[in-house]
Chains A and B, each alone.
Chain A
Amino acid sequence: MPEQDQNLLLEIKGLRTYFHLAEGVVHAVDGVDLKMHRKETLGIVGESGCGKSISAYSMLRLVPPPGKIEAGEILFYKTPKDGSTNQAEIVNLTKLDPNGSEIRNIRGNYISMVFQEPMTAMSPVRTVGQQIMEAIILHQKVSKEEARKQTIEMLRRVRMSNPERVIDDYPFQLSGGMRQRAVIAMALCCRPSLLIADEPTTALDVTTEAQILNLMRDLQDEFGMAIMYITHNLGVIAEMADNVAVMYMGRVVEQADVSTIFYNPLHPYTQGLHQSIPQLKDALSRKEHKRLDVIKGMVPDPYSRLKGCPFHPRCPKFIAGVCDEVEPRMVEPEPGHTVKCHLYG
């Protein structure tokens, strides 16, 4: 191995997470490779069901049964939070006992996650405040009063109106976006080195969203947090991400810095995504029933594995005899820009 990259935080190599069901095997994550550096914001986009959330669950070892990590490594470069040394300890997360103390110490404390659906992370029978305070006390050893103070402060920072009321509310008493922000507060209160944010702002209006993104960036500067930002909102990707990984059917099919993904996308799937965005300027000249462009076809049956490139049945640039025969390798047509497509070698 070449000299170790000092700023490396996370390295995923050949990750495969499958669900063995009676009807067949769901290849939810099917060979994901990713790298993340400290303080980096990596955007992850991809079609609904392509394995973004299950990849994130795999990192935290929270894959629900009957899901199982079948292959691959997830290396987390853990540096102590007290700053006693800069020397990172390399932990292979796939090797940890999913119920053991080591992963529990990492979860929340080093890697925390904002779940796509807030109620997966919250208990319906305890108040918002109890749940956030518990997370603070678990990792920070502060008094109850101090934890309550920090909780109110954090709720205020996620733009909650009247945090003194919200802290004693139950999750069902909050709006969708308020629940989402409560979960963000919970994930941020322990100053993780890596925040996995899975569609964290889908219920937020644009002004609140702008402020939440700003808060994340502030905290990123404050304590050097890296963010893995999973979203389908390309506007948010454009605003937040340093680098972007595009996933399709359990794989990363293209990865580059954010400008390249927007101005010079190579993979036909990435190109198709850009064409499907509803354009704001259309609001100025409203045509009756203008239809949006869609990438034709349906995601293939998840049980049967396609021969060749997984995108070939829907690809406008499909080359018969090649794309339906051979799975493309990852190539690097320009430095730092990787793509899995036969058009590029």
Chain B
Amino acid sequence: MSDQALTKEPLLEVIELKKYFPIRRGFFKRVVGQVKAVDNLSFFIREGETLGLVGESGCGKTTAGRSILRAIPPSSGKILFRDPTLGKVDVATLDQDQLIAVRRNMRMIFQDPYASLNPRMTLLDIVGAPLRAMKLASGKELEERVAEMLRRVGLRPEYMRRYPHAFSGGQRQRIGLARALAPNPKFIVCDEPVSALDVSVQAQILNLLQDLQVDLGLTYLFVAHDLSVVAHISDRVAVMYVGKMVELANTQELYTNPMHPYTEALMSAIPLPDPRKREKRVYLSGEVANPANPPSGCYFHPRCSYCVDICKSTEPAFEEVKPGHFVKCHRARELSLNGVAEILANR
């Protein structure tokens, strides 16, 4: 992203977003609890920026992404999006017609390509559907556009008439990518978009996403678990833990100078492509927190090696500890945690 983009106003602003799922049990499907999958999330993304989103499996990343696009209805909160035609709208309160219009510009690459591709549609229909529905192209033109999209994601246009089952996992993932990119959107939630790709094809796709960003000013919310990939593509990175954001900073700052103990734990667990370092990955011990019944105080305290009394009783605020560096930890100012440089040196 260029410095110029830094000064741009947000394309997307999420304010106090919540998504709770009821837990129903028994014959009468009585509600016995709530999974607080996303619990009070606030952040913004500037136009042309990539915000990386990382966090433990089950911490609410996909739910956040899906709520932002209203693929599922959020429980509460505002989702302010600057749509090129509709202007600034709150996606959470749009009516059906406006939602369809806004979805041309806000798209999603789903985490599970197998479950998100209709097995009875050919590639032409899958990738062409948004173009057709939004009346952006039809007939020969539609076919050419689909062919072009497929080529860009490294799939052969000859495959157009095949069904999704006839593809490998990584090929299917790229079908989802082509579908998201087809209508020339402004904003894409990329939910693990390269997780099934070998490093060479992955590199090709990451380059493509960056090129599109430069050429068309695309904005991404990029969910991934591979921290090298996240570092490579993101301008800023947000870290989530049990439904809440615990740290947010620009990429280099977060990786060199993490301030939340959970972020440090993540960094120490990165697998390095070097067999000599295989024994040295550090583990995060302790029980995984339950989003239906989270711990008291700071949610991370039962697993945190820096825990003191206040952490058990009081929830810390999400504070700007340094300009642009937000942390949700009582001890953020006093702790000096290991970043990637120390971790690479120690392992």
List chain A positions with a Cβ less than 8 A from chain B. Answer: 19, 21, 23, 26, 45-49, 52-54, 64, 116-120, 159-162, 165, 168, 173-181, 198-199, 202-211, 214, 232-240, 258-259, 262, 272-274, 276-286, 288-295, 298-299, 301
Asked if residues A280 and B272 are in contact (CB atoms below 8 Å), the reply is yes
CA distance A175 to B192 in the complex (A): 12
A117-B113, A292-B206 known; A236-B271 Cβ under 8 A: yes
CA distance A179 to B192 in the complex (A): 15
- Of A52, A177, A237, A298, which one neighbours B156 at CB under 8 angstroms? A298
Asked if residues B199 and A232 are in contact (CB atoms below 8 Å), the reply is yes
CA distance A285 to B206 in the complex (A): 18
Residues of A within 8 A of B171 (CB): 48-49
Name, among A159, A202, A204, the residue most crowded by chain B CB atoms within 10 Å (CB to CB). A202
Asked if residues A47 and B156 are in contact (CB atoms below 8 Å), the reply is no
Contact segment of B39-47, B134-142, B220-228: B220-228
CA distance A264 to B41 in the complex (A): 47
Asked if residues B340 and A210 are in contact (CB atoms below 8 Å), the reply is no
CA distance A57 to B269 in the complex (A): 31
CA distance A202 to B229 in the complex (A): 13
Asked if residues A284 and B57 are in contact (CB atoms below 8 Å), the reply is no
Residue of B nearest to A54 (CB): B168
Asked if residues B290 and A161 are in contact (CB atoms below 8 Å), the reply is yes
A117-B112, A262-B273 known; A283-B255 Cβ under 8 A: yes
Asked if residues B111 and A203 are in contact (CB atoms below 8 Å), the reply is yes
Give the shortest distance, in Å, between B281 (CB) and chain A (any CB).
5
A47-B198, A284-B256, A292-B206 known; A119-B277 Cβ under 8 A: no
Residues of B within 8 A of A165 (CB): 23, 33, 290, 292
Residue of B nearest to A260 (CB): B275
CA distance A179 to B214 in the complex (A): 36
Residues of A within 8 A of B86 (CB): none
- Of A53, A278, A289, which one neighbours B203 at CB under 8 angstroms? A278
Asked if residues A294 and B287 are in contact (CB atoms below 8 Å), the reply is no
Asked if residues B228 and A280 are in contact (CB atoms below 8 Å), the reply is yes
A165-B23, A284-B340 known; A206-B58 Cβ under 8 A: no
Asked if residues A301 and B271 are in contact (CB atoms below 8 Å), the reply is no
B219 in the interface, Cβ–Cβ < 8 Å?
Answer: no
A161-B58, A207-B283 known; A53-B255 Cβ under 8 A: no
CA distance A120 to B169 in the complex (A): 11
- Of A45, A180, A258, A282, which one neighbours B198 at CB under 8 angstroms? A45
CA distance A301 to B162 in the complex (A): 14
List chain B positions with a Cβ less than 8 A from chain A. Answer: 1-2, 21, 23, 25, 33, 54-58, 61-63, 111-115, 154, 156, 158, 162, 165-172, 174, 191-192, 195-204, 206-207, 210, 214, 225-229, 231-232, 251-252, 255-256, 265-266, 269-278, 281-284, 287-293, 340-341, 344
Residues of B within 8 A of A278 (CB): 203, 206, 226, 228-229, 231-232
Residues of B within 8 A of A272 (CB): 200
Give the shortest distance, in Å, between A57 (CB) and chain B (any CB).
11
Asked if residues B225 and A204 are in contact (CB atoms below 8 Å), the reply is yes
Asked if residues A119 and B115 are in contact (CB atoms below 8 Å), the reply is yes
The 29 sampled A-B contact pairs (Cβ below 8 Å) are: A21-B166, A47-B200, A48-B169, A48-B197, A54-B168, A161-B290, A175-B63, A177-B57, A177-B58, A202-B192, A202-B195, A202-B196, A203-B195, A205-B54, A208-B56, A209-B225, A214-B283, A232-B197, A237-B273, A262-B274, A273-B198, A280-B228, A280-B272, A282-B231, A283-B227, A283-B256, A288-B1, A289-B210, A294-B204
Asked if residues A175 and B196 are in contact (CB atoms below 8 Å), the reply is no
A288-B2, A294-B203 known; A207-B198 Cβ under 8 A: no
Give the shortest distance, in Å, between B181 (CB) and chain A (any CB).
18
Residues of B within 8 A of A119 (CB): 112, 114-115
Name, among A46, A203, A291, the residue most crowded by chain B CB atoms within 10 Å (CB to CB). A203
A178-B57, A286-B252, A289-B210 known; A161-B291 Cβ under 8 A: yes
Asked if residues A206 and B112 are in contact (CB atoms below 8 Å), the reply is no
CA distance A277 to B200 in the complex (A): 8
Give the shortest distance, in Å, between B282 (CB) and chain A (any CB).
8
Asked if residues A232 and B202 are in contact (CB atoms below 8 Å), the reply is yes
Residue of A nearest to B278 (CB): A239
- Of B251, B266, B273, which one neighbours A238 at CB under 8 angstroms? B273
CA distance A23 to B204 in the complex (A): 27
Further contacts, 5 of them, CB under 8 A, given A47-B200, A181-B57: A161-B288, A203-B225, A276-B199, A283-B231, A283-B252
Residues of B within 8 A of A210 (CB): 269, 271, 281-284
A48-B171, A235-B270 known; A276-B202 Cβ under 8 A: yes
- Of A199, A286, A289, A301, which one neighbours B196 at CB under 8 angstroms? A199
Give the shortest distance, in Å, between A119 (CB) and chain B (any CB).
5
Q: Which 6 A-B pairs have the closest CB atoms?
A: A48-B170, A177-B57, A235-B271, A283-B231, A292-B203, A117-B114
- Of A180, A234, A282, A301, which one neighbours B273 at CB under 8 angstroms? A234
- Of A161, A199, A277, A282, which one neighbours B169 at CB under 8 angstroms? A199
Asked if residues A281 and B207 are in contact (CB atoms below 8 Å), the reply is no
Residues of B within 8 A of A116 (CB): 169, 196
Give the shortest distance, in Å, between B52 (CB) and chain A (any CB).
11
- Of A49, A53, A54, A280, which one neighbours B227 at CB under 8 angstroms? A280
Residue of B nearest to A262 (CB): B275
Asked if residues A168 and B251 are in contact (CB atoms below 8 Å), the reply is no
Residues of B within 8 A of A160 (CB): 288
CA distance A163 to B57 in the complex (A): 14
Asked if residues B198 and A48 are in contact (CB atoms below 8 Å), the reply is yes
Asked if residues B344 and A281 are in contact (CB atoms below 8 Å), the reply is yes
Residues of B within 8 A of A209 (CB): 225, 269, 271
- Of A177, A236, A290, which one neighbours B232 at CB under 8 angstroms? A290
Give the shortest distance, in Å, between A90 (CB) and chain B (any CB).
31
Name, among B156, B228, B275, the residue most crowded by chain A CB atoms within 10 Å (CB to CB). B275
CA distance A35 to B281 in the complex (A): 29
Asked if residues A291 and B210 are in contact (CB atoms below 8 Å), the reply is yes
Asked if residues A235 and B275 are in contact (CB atoms below 8 Å), the reply is no
CA distance A286 to B156 in the complex (A): 34
Residues of A within 8 A of B276 (CB): 259
Residues of A within 8 A of B269 (CB): 206-207, 209-210
CA distance A42 to B62 in the complex (A): 32
